[in-house]
Chain A
Amino acid sequence: MAILKLSLMSLLNRKATVVLTIIAIAVSVTLLLGVDKLRDQARTGFANTISGSDMIIGARSGSIQLLLYSVFRIGSATNNITWQSYLDLAADPRVKWSIPLSMGDSHHGFRVLGTTGQYFEHYRYGGKQKLAFAEGKAFDDVFDVVIGADVAKTLGYGIGAAVVVQHGIGAVGFVKHEDKPFRVSGILRRTGTPVDRTVHITLKGIEAMHIDWQTGAMATGRITSADAIRRMDLPTDTITAILVGLKSRTTAFSFQRHVNDYKKEPLLGVLPGLALQELWSLMSTVDKTLGAIAAFVVVSGLLGMTTMILAGLDGRRREMAILRSVGARPVHVFGLLVTEATILTLVGSLGGVALLYLGLFLARPLAAEMLGLNLIIGLPSPRDVGILGLVVGAGFFAGLFPAFKVYRQSLADGMMTRL
Chain B
Amino acid sequence: MANIAIRMQGVRFRWRPQDPIVLDIPEFQVAKGEKIFIKGPSGSGKTSLLNLLAGVARPEAGDIDISGHRITAFSGRQGDTFRADHIGFIFQMFNLLPYLSMLNNVTLACLFSDVRRQRALGRAPSLDAEASRLLQHLELDVSGLASRPVSLLSMGQQQRVAVARSLIGGPDLVIADEPTSALDADARQSFLDLLFREIAETGSTLLFVSHDAGLADSFDRSLAIADFNMAETER
Residues of chain A touching chain B, judged by Cβ–Cβ distance below 8 Å, are: 2, 6, 9-10, 12-13, 318-319, 321-330, 332, 411, 414-416, 418-419
Q: Specify which of A10, A13, A322 lies most central, judged by the most chain B CB atoms within 10 Å of its CB.
A: A322
* Contact, CB under 8 Å: A326 / B100: no
* Contact, CB under 8 Å: A324 / B56: yes
* Contact, CB under 8 Å: A330 / B91: no
* Contact, CB under 8 Å: A9 / B56: no
| B29-64 contact mask (Cβ, 8 Å, vs A): 1 or 0 | 000000000000000000100110010110000000
* A327–B56 CA distance with the chains assembled, in angstroms: 10
* A318–B158 CA distance with the chains assembled, in angstroms: 15
* Contact, CB under 8 Å: A414 / B85: no
* Contact, CB under 8 Å: B112 / A9: no
Top 10 closest A-B pairs, CB basis? A327-B84, A13-B99, A327-B112, A414-B56, A325-B89, A414-B51, A329-B80, A9-B99, A416-B47, A326-B109
**B20: Cβ under 8 A from any A Cβ:** no
Q: Specify which of A9, A326, A416 lies most central, judged by the most chain B CB atoms within 10 Å of its CB.
A: A326
**B235: Cβ under 8 A from any A Cβ:** no
* Contact, CB under 8 Å: B98 / A326: no
Q: Specify which of A324, A330, A411 lies most central, judged by the most chain B CB atoms within 10 Å of its CB.
A: A324
Q: Specify which of A12, A328, A414 lies most central, judged by the most chain B CB atoms within 10 Å of its CB.
A: A414
* A323–B57 CA distance with the chains assembled, in angstroms: 16
* Contact, CB under 8 Å: A329 / B77: yes
* A332–B113 CA distance with the chains assembled, in angstroms: 13
* Contact, CB under 8 Å: A328 / B112: yes
* A270–B100 CA distance with the chains assembled, in angstroms: 71
* A327–B113 CA distance with the chains assembled, in angstroms: 7
* A7–B17 CA distance with the chains assembled, in angstroms: 36
* Contact, CB under 8 Å: A329 / B76: yes
Report the nearest A residue to B101, measured CB to CB. A9
Report the nearest B residue to A12, measured CB to CB. B99
Contacts of A327 in B (CB 8 A): 80-81, 83-85, 109, 111-113
Contacts of A12 in B (CB 8 A): 99
* Contact, CB under 8 Å: A415 / B111: no
Sample of 20 A–B contacts (CB below 8 Å): A2-B111, A9-B100, A9-B104, A12-B99, A13-B99, A322-B91, A322-B108, A323-B97, A324-B56, A326-B89, A326-B165, A327-B80, A327-B84, A328-B111, A329-B76, A330-B76, A411-B56, A415-B89, A416-B47, A416-B50
**B9: Cβ under 8 A from any A Cβ:** no
* A419–B91 CA distance with the chains assembled, in angstroms: 11
Within B118-145, which residues are at the interface with A (CB < 8 Å)?
none
* Contact, CB under 8 Å: A416 / B51: yes
Given A329-B80, A416-B177, the answer on whether A13 and B50 have CB atoms closer than 8 Å is no
Within B92-117, which residues are at the interface with A (CB < 8 Å)?
93-100, 104, 108-109, 111-113
* A130–B95 CA distance with the chains assembled, in angstroms: 75
Residues of chain B touching chain A, judged by Cβ–Cβ distance below 8 Å, are: 47, 50-51, 54, 56-57, 76-77, 80-81, 83-85, 89, 91, 93-100, 104, 108-109, 111-113, 165, 177
* A166–B165 CA distance with the chains assembled, in angstroms: 88
Q: Specify which of A318, A327, A415, A418 lies most central, judged by the most chain B CB atoms within 10 Å of its CB.
A: A327
* Contact, CB under 8 Å: B95 / A10: no
Contacts of A2 in B (CB 8 A): 111-112
Report the nearest A residue to B149, measured CB to CB. A13
* Contact, CB under 8 Å: B84 / A414: no
Partner of B91, one of A6, A10, A325, A329: A325
* A79–B167 CA distance with the chains assembled, in angstroms: 95
Report the nearest A residue to B95, measured CB to CB. A322
Given A318-B94, A416-B47, A416-B51, the answer on whether A326 and B99 have CB atoms closer than 8 Å is no
Contacts of A416 in B (CB 8 A): 47, 50-51, 91, 177
Contacts of A10 in B (CB 8 A): 97, 99
* A326–B90 CA distance with the chains assembled, in angstroms: 10
* A327–B95 CA distance with the chains assembled, in angstroms: 15
* Contact, CB under 8 Å: A325 / B54: yes
Closest CB in chain A relative to B174 CB, distance in Å: 11
Given A9-B100, A12-B99, the answer on whether A326 and B57 have CB atoms closer than 8 Å is no
Closest CB in chain B relative to A408 CB, distance in Å: 13
Contacts of B57 in A (CB 8 A): 414
* Contact, CB under 8 Å: A328 / B89: no
Report the nearest B residue to A419, measured CB to CB. B94
Report the nearest A residue to B77, measured CB to CB. A329
* A318–B162 CA distance with the chains assembled, in angstroms: 14
Report the nearest B residue to A329, measured CB to CB. B80
Closest CB in chain A relative to B13 CB, distance in Å: 12
Closest CB in chain A relative to B104 CB, distance in Å: 8
Q: A323-B97, A327-B111 are in contact. List 12 more A-B contacts (CB 8 A).
A: A9-B99, A9-B104, A13-B99, A326-B108, A327-B81, A328-B80, A328-B84, A328-B111, A329-B77, A415-B51, A415-B89, A416-B47
Contacts of A329 in B (CB 8 A): 76-77, 80, 112
Contacts of A414 in B (CB 8 A): 47, 51, 54, 56-57
* A329–B55 CA distance with the chains assembled, in angstroms: 11
* Contact, CB under 8 Å: B112 / A326: yes
Closest CB in chain A relative to B112 CB, distance in Å: 4
Given A414-B54, A414-B56, the answer on whether A326 and B111 have CB atoms closer than 8 Å is yes
Contacts of B76 in A (CB 8 A): 329-330
Contacts of B51 in A (CB 8 A): 414-416
Contacts of B95 in A (CB 8 A): 322
Report the nearest A residue to B42, measured CB to CB. A418
Closest CB in chain A relative to B11 CB, distance in Å: 16
